[in-house]
Amino acid sequence: MSVDPLPTIFVVDDDAAVARALAGAGRLLGYPVRAFDGASSFLNAYDPVLPGCLVLDIRMPGMTGLELQRKLADDGVELPIVMISGHADVRTAVEAMTLGALTLLEKPFRLDELMTQIRRGVEWDAANRAARARKDSTAARLAQLTPKEREVLELIARGKTNKEIAADLGLSVRAVEDRRARLMKKMDAKSVADLVWVRSAHGDRGS
């Protein structure tokens, strides 16, 4: 695996003075900061591979913050968003939160609040990316299984014993034990519980 890039704080606000202040907060946390004056310039420059957190003004000329949030969600980008609002009416606030914003800060707010939320966003993103990576590797491992091993995995997941599985599949108990061992090895699982968890974490595709 390559070295993870440092989390970047993306600031999108059309008001240059506010953008500079938000960027200052990000730098204070020790993260690299990239500021944009609008949604479209952010979209042009953003690479979803980069981890971090997005600090986004809710109202902007052209594409608004909410529209950008919706576009990112539609594109499957899971960058955490700290929404900034001049004065949030309830409807906009609810909409932003429903669309999955991490939080919504109303101007003017304290530096502490902002830094706490940015930190939270960065942590959330790191956890989310780790979970995704695990999921991806699980998928890859599941794909390596032969149909017969998969059959055994499904039955194990249903809580059946080796004996029952042997009876169901018309095999010897010995053969089932062999397959089970191969399965555990391929899935990199240490126990049956581990095996079942990995399988369900990836969704019940097989059953």
Partner 1 sequence: MSPPTRPLLTPGRAAALSLTLVAAVFAVDLCLPLGVASAVPYTFAVLLALRARPWWFVLAVAGLCGVLTVLKMGLVPERGTTEMWKVVVNRCLALFSIGMTTLLGVLGRRAEAGRREAEGKMRDHLATLAHLGRLHTAGQLATGLAHELNQPLAAIGLQAEIAEQFAAGGDTNHDALMISLAEITEQSQRAAAIVKTLRRLTQPGEEKPGPVDLNDVIRSVAPLIDREARRAGADVQLHLTDPLPPVWGDRVQLEQVVFNLLRNAVEAVAGVARERVARVESAAEGDAVTVVVRDTGCGLPPGDPERVFERFYTTKPGGMGVGLAISRSIVESHGGRLWADREPTGGAAFRCRLPAERGA
Site for partner 1 in 52-71 (CB under 8 A): 59-64, 67
Cβ at position 117, least distance to partner 1 in Å: 13
- Say if residues 83 and 106 touch (Cβ distance below 8 Å): no
Q: Which two tokens stand for residue 99?
A: 């669309």
Candidate ranges 11-19, 96-104, 121-129, 169-177; the one touching partner 1 (CB under 8 A): 11-19
Q: Which of 111, 130, 192, 201 touches partner 1 by CB under 8 A?
A: 111
Cβ at position 13, least distance to partner 1 in Å: 9
Cβ at position 49, least distance to partner 1 in Å: 29
Place of tokens 């018309």: 170
Nearest partner of 11 among 29, 30, 38, 49, judged by Cα: 38
Residue 14 or 149 having the CB closest to partner 1 = 14
In this structure, the dihedral spanned by the alpha carbons of residues 87, 88, 90 and 93, taken in order and rounded to 10 degrees, is -170
d(CA 139, CA 132): 10
CA 85 vs. chain centroid, Å, equals 25
Site for partner 1 in 68-97 (CB under 8 A): 86-87
Task: Check binding of 22 to partner 1 (CB under 8 A).
Answer: yes
